[in-house]
Homo-oligomer: A and B are copies of this chain.
Amino acid sequence: MSTSIRSIKSLVPLLDRVLVQRIKAEAKTASGIFLPESTVKDLNEAKVLAVGPGGLDREGKRVPMGVQAGDRVLIPTFGGSPVKVGEDEYQLFRDSDILAKINE
C-alpha cells in the first residue's frame, strides 16, 4: 500500500482502527554478533502510533478503544492493512484484533 504521505504522524485512523509499527527483532545475538538479515524473524510485537476515536455501537455511541498511542502490543500473524510511508512499513488493525498489551 504505497502512499505519498511525508510523515506517518499525518495519518489519523478512523473508527476503531489502530495504527501500529512492528518491532524489529534485534539483528545481533546476545553476545553482540550481527546476524544476516534473512535469519532475523518477524516479531508479532508492535508499537501503537495512533488510534481511532472508536467504532459506533448500535445506539451511535463510541465504543472505547482498548489500546492507546504508546502501547506495546501483541498483534496477530495475519490480517491488518499495510501502509507504506517512504521506506517504512506500518499496519492498521481493528482494536479487537489486538491480542494483548505488553507491559515491559
Query: Chain A: residues with CB nearer than 8 A to chain B?
Result: 1-7, 10-15, 17, 19, 23, 25-26, 41-45, 52, 56-58, 60-61, 63-64, 66-67, 74, 76-77, 81, 83, 92, 96, 98-104
Contact = CB atoms under 8 A, between A and B. Distances in A.
User: Can you tell how many copies of this chain the complex includes?
Assistant: 7
Contacts of A43: 2-4
Main secondary structure of the interface of A (DSSP, over half): loop
Contacts of A98: 14
Given A2-B41, A11-B102, A12-B101, 9 more contacts: A2-B25, A3-B45, A3-B74, A4-B26, A4-B43, A5-B102, A11-B101, A14-B101, A44-B83
A60 B56 CA distance: 11
